[in-house]
């Protein structure tokens, strides 16, 4: 399971960086989204992949090793909210830049082909 998760993080990061280097603004937004998904998966995987672990204690008996770590889950939830707000702000800035420049290229100039 760990190799599948590591491969998914690698593929998301690679595709996200490739899209971040593209000349169109929509591709840059999609690349930023894919990179944020990869970071969220990475943070979530730091808590350890365990199956059958209870999220809360069932009774008074049992130690701390018997249930899941809540810190990576809280960090991922915070990262999701921050990435949503960042994407919304980026889209507003892109729409304003498109209105001023008349195009959707990152550098403001069309390709000379």
pLDDT in the model for residue 100 = 86
Read off the tokens for 54. 């209870």
Give the per-residue pLDDT at 30. Answer: 93
Exposure letters 87-113 (e unless 16+ CB within 10 A, then b):
eeeeeeebeebeeeeeebebeeeeeee
Mean pLDDT by 10-residue block, N- to C-terminus, for the chain (113 residues)? 91 96 90 94 81 61 65 89 93 88 76 59
Domain range list for the chain: 2-49+68-101
pLDDT at residue 31, rounded to an integer: 94
Dist. CA 78–CA 90, nearest whole Å: 18
Token code pair at residue 66: 């018997």
Q: What is the pTM of this model?
A: 0.77
Note the CATH number of domain 2-49+68-101: 1.10.287
């Amino acid at each position: 399971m760990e190799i599948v998760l590591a491969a998914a993080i690698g593929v998301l990061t690679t595709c996200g960086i490739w899209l971040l280097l593209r000349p169109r603004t929509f591709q840059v937004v999609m690349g930023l989204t894919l990179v944020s998904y990869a970071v969220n998966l990475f943070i979530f995987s730091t808590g350890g992949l365990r199956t059958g672990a209870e999220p809360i204690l069932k009774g008074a008996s049992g130690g701390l090793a018997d249930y899941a770590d809540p810190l990576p889950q809280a960090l991922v939830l915070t990262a999701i909210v921050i990435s949503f707000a960042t994407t919304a702000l980026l889209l507003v800035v892109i729409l304003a830049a498109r209105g001023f420049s008349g195009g959707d290229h990152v550098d403001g100039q069309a390709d000379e082909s």
